[in-house]
Amino acid sequence: MTDVKKGAGAAARTSVSVAVTGSGGAGVMTAGNMLLAAAAKAGWYGLMVRSSGPQIRGGEAAALCRFATHPLDCLDDRFDVLVAVDWENLHRFADEIPLDSASLLVGDPAQGNPPEVYVKSAARYAQLGIKGIAKAISGSWPNMVVLGVAAGLIGLPKDAVRAVVEKTLKKSRDGLAPSLAAVEAGYEAASRIGGDAKLAPPGPRSEPRWLISGNQAAGYGAVRGGVRFVAGYPITPATEVLEWLAPALADVGGVLVQAEDELASINMIIGASFGGVPSLTATSGPGLSLMIEALGLAVAAEVPIVVVDVMRGGPSTGIPAKSEQSDVSIAVNGLHGDAPRIVVAPNSVSDCLVTTQWAVHLAETLQSPAIVLSDQFFGQTRAVVDRPPDATYAGRRLTAAPNADAYKRYAVTESGISPMAIPGNPGTAYTADGLEHTDRGIPSSGARDHTIQLAKRERKLLGHEYGDFWADIEGEGDIAVVTFGSCTGPVREARSRAAADGVQTRLVSMRLLAPAQADRLAKALAGVKRVLVVEQNHSGQFLKYLRSEFQLPGEVKSFRRPGPLPIRADELHHQLVDWSRA
């Protein structure tokens, strides 16, 4: 379903989805990125998801774009426009790029026939000799024609597109003119094709906007939170967090090291944080699994660290480049021994910034490891967002004064937090230890010391005042949707569609997964008769976790599906409306 702005005429939409596809070398990602940049420049919001086959390079690829007059947190259920440079392997994208009778399919008849599934979709097929047009303009490429077509079809001002093309190609004098000509030709073709996929004019730009991916946002959140040491090992889809941080940290006087493996990277950040420097690593499922032992060390020795887990399809190597929310169980439960830890989850691309910053703040304040559960969708999606607010979360660790009297590193305090002596501080030398210990840090296998320290470590997390940021709570009604992370976007859209149908619902998008906030959730769900728990995995890990920690009120339903297909607003909308009538 595509929103139509009331009174703006049938052709002016508040949200339009466009996919550009083609086989290896066709440059569809470039076209998509330019489209996004142009829309951003012209004042729209938008996002772009990259999708490609298993090939390292040169396989089929799709740029999945959505543009709107309002901020976007997810793709739409369907696409208004699909521009295909060729048909090769296009059927592989059929699930990811659903078309229907209201859609427009633009393709090159010289490349053969559209795939069966699209023929059946009853989308209008506009034939366009894309390659021929490009060939006719010497030195131009089909993807620039496609850029023009797509931009024209959705009504992007030509100036914005031209500006982006000029900026991108400013170093290649020869390429510019033919590219601009191809774009021009694309616009002409679009005007011939017509259709009703035009975007409504953008609203006024109140705040500064950014074009950012979730992985970049997480990196910047880390820096804003005070992280100045990062060690990491490359892994899809987390590598960009590290790649963004490498020059950024150098610029602000921090350090990033590429470690030999994940065992090294997490132990490196623990060592650095022991040295007083807020530290972080980023990884995905397989790497997180390798970090489990050292996460326990950070719990026991009370060393603050942050691990950003950009989730992908599992188990094992699974589906490396696709999104899934299936690391909930390992994040909240995956350590040996009684090992309380912090687990937070951003719920939009831009929230990757603030939530990562918050994670640093919590880790530092509570001298504990914090896991940030991002995912491939957030991490690798580029989105136009309002510049996030300047959050005040800054790492502030309780440190020991010089020559503290009879210093006890693990002193038993009411809050459970004990002042941490930072190397360099005179008179407070101590040994941090992963063995159970006394308050001084001396290894102890005594039942008393063990119970005291277990309780202290639990208390400092449970007793903390996390504030309203623990969840985004919206709406009223006796149906509640409880979710987290990248399912929040589709749930939000589904709720507003349901509201349009007269079905009022509540949203609880949990940002703080662990420690569980039982009282707060109970309050958020007060009066609720039905709870829909939404998550993107096979076994219902989030629901199981909720059940283990909370007594969910009323009737509980699980809405879940593993990756790689996103959960769509449409299906949630139907679920909510049907349930409200059941």
Ligand X SMILES: Cc1ncc(C[n+]2csc(CCOP(=O)(O)OP(=O)(O)O)c2C)c(N)n1
Site for ligand SF4 in 41-60 (CB under 6 A): 56-57
54/569 Cα distance (integer angstroms): 27
With CB under 5 to 8 Å by kind, the binding choice for 268 among its own copies, ligand X, other proteins, none is other proteins
Closest residue by Cα to residue 360 from 273, 299, 284, 253: 273
Beta carbons within 10 angstroms of residue 382's beta carbon: 24
Whether the Cβ atoms of residue 564 and residue 323 lie closer than 8 Å to each other:
yes
Cα dist. 319→79, 247, 284, 376 in Å?
24, 29, 11, 11
Crossing angle for the helix pair 569-581 and 488-500, to the nearest 10 degrees: 50
**Per-residue DSSP letter, 156:** -
Mapped onto helix, strand or coil, the DSSP state of residue 454 is helix
164/180 Cα distance (integer angstroms): 10
Sheet holding 555-560, edge to edge: 471-474, 505-510, 479-483, 530-535, 555-560
Select the residue interacting with ligand X from 9, 25, 54, 234 (CB under 6 A). Answer: 234
Beta carbons within 10 angstroms of residue 443's beta carbon: 12
Q: What does the per-residue mask of binding to its own copies show for 38-57, with x meaning CB under 8 A? A: ---------------xx---
255/277 Cα distance (integer angstroms): 10
Q: Which is nearer to ligand SF4, 56 or 447 (CB)?
A: 56
Q: Is 243 in the site for other proteins (CB under 8 A)?
A: yes
Q: Which is nearer to ligand SF4, 10 or 56 (CB)?
A: 56
Q: Is 430 in the site for other proteins (CB under 8 A)?
A: yes
* Encoded tokens for 527: 């009066």
Binding range to its own copies, per CB under 8 A, among 19-27, 57-65, 337-345, 408-416? 337-345
Q: Strands 45-52 and 61-68: what pairing?
A: antiparallel
With CB under 5 to 8 Å by kind, the binding choice for 455 among ligand SF4, other proteins, its own copies, none is its own copies
Q: Is 99 in the site for its own copies (CB under 8 A)?
A: no
Q: Is 186 in the site for ligand X (CB under 6 A)?
A: no
Q: Is 356 in the site for its own copies (CB under 8 A)?
A: no
* Encoded tokens for 167: 């900026």
Q: Which is nearer to ligand X, 317 or 403 (CB)?
A: 317
Q: Strands 279-283 and 255-258: what pairing?
A: unpaired
Q: How far is the CB of 373 from ligand X (least distance, A)?
A: 18
With CB under 5 to 8 Å by kind, the binding choice for 7 among ligand SF4, other proteins, its own copies, none is none
- HSE of 291, CA atoms in CB hemisphere, 13 A: 35
For residues 356-385, which are near ligand SF4 according to CB under 6 A?
none
Q: Strands 512-514 and 342-344: what pairing?
A: antiparallel
Instruction: State the burial class of residue 550 (Cβ atoms within 10 Å of its Cβ: 0-12, 13-18, 19+).
Output: middle
Q: How far is the CB of 518 from ligand X (least distance, A)?
A: 34
Closest residue by Cα to residue 35 from 62, 67, 12, 59: 67
Q: Strands 479-483 and 530-535: what pairing?
A: parallel
* Encoded tokens for 5: 């702005």
Whether the Cβ atoms of residue 440 and residue 430 lie closer than 8 Å to each other:
yes
For residues 479-538, which are near ligand SF4 according to CB under 6 A?
none
For residues 522-541, which are near its own copies according to CB under 8 A?
537-539, 541
Buried b (16+ CB within 10 A) or exposed e, 238-261: bbbbbbbbbebbeeeebebbebee
Q: What does the per-residue mask of binding to other proteins show for 172-211, with x meaning CB under 8 A? A: ------------------------------------xxxx
For residues 300-319, which are near other proteins according to CB under 8 A?
301, 316-317
Q: Is 314 in the site for ligand X (CB under 6 A)?
A: no
Select the residue interacting with other proteins from 271, 475, 540, 553 (CB under 8 A). Answer: 271
Q: Is 264 in the site for ligand X (CB under 6 A)?
A: no
Cα dist. 142→146, 182, 186, 264, 419 in Å?
6, 8, 9, 46, 63
Q: Is 443 in the site for ligand SF4 (CB under 6 A)?
A: no
Closest residue by Cα to residue 432 from 417, 447, 446, 443: 443
Q: Is 432 in the site for other proteins (CB under 8 A)?
A: yes
Q: Is 389 in the site for other proteins (CB under 8 A)?
A: no
Q: How far is the CB of 55 from ligand SF4 (least distance, A)?
A: 8
Q: Is 363 in the site for other proteins (CB under 8 A)?
A: no
With CB under 5 to 8 Å by kind, the binding choice for 415 among ligand X, its own copies, other proteins, none is none
Select the residue interacting with ligand X from 81, 235, 349, 372 (CB under 6 A). Answer: 235
505/579 Cα distance (integer angstroms): 11
Select the residue interacting with other proteins from 7, 204, 337, 426 (CB under 8 A). Answer: 426
* Region label for 467, one of left (φ > 0), alpha (ψ between -120 and 50) or beta (otherwise): left
With CB under 5 to 8 Å by kind, the binding choice for 431 among ligand SF4, ligand X, its own copies, none is none
Q: Is 40 in the site for other proteins (CB under 8 A)?
A: yes
With CB under 5 to 8 Å by kind, the binding choice for 538 among its own copies, ligand X, ligand SF4, none is its own copies
Binding range to its own copies, per CB under 8 A, among 38-46, 117-125, 487-495, 555-563? 555-563
Q: Is 415 in the site for other proteins (CB under 8 A)?
A: no
Q: How far is the CB of 275 from other proteins (least distance, A)?
A: 4
The DSSP H or E segment spanning 573 is helix 569-581
Q: How far is the CB of 53 from ligand SF4 (least distance, A)?
A: 13
Q: Where are any strands of DSSP class E within 183-254?
A: 209-213, 229-232
Select the residue interacting with other proteins from 121, 215, 428, 536 (CB under 8 A). Answer: 428
For residues 414-473, which are near its own copies according to CB under 8 A?
433-436, 443, 445-447, 450-451, 454-455, 458
Binding range to ligand X, per CB under 6 A, among 16-24, 32-40, 285-293, 465-473? 285-293
Q: Which residues share a beta bridge with 232?
A: 258
| Residue 237, preceding peptide bond in cis (omega within 30° of 0) | yes
- HSE of 350, CA atoms in CB hemisphere, 13 A: 18
With CB under 5 to 8 Å by kind, the binding choice for 57 among ligand X, its own copies, ligand SF4, none is ligand SF4
Residues forming contacts to ligand SF4 in the complex (CB under 6 A) are 56-57
Contact footprint for its own copies (CB under 8 A): 53-54, 92, 95, 285-286, 288-290, 292-293, 296-297, 299-301, 313-322, 324, 326-327, 329-330, 332-340, 433-436, 443, 445-447, 450-451, 454-455, 458, 537-539, 541, 544-545, 547-549, 561-565
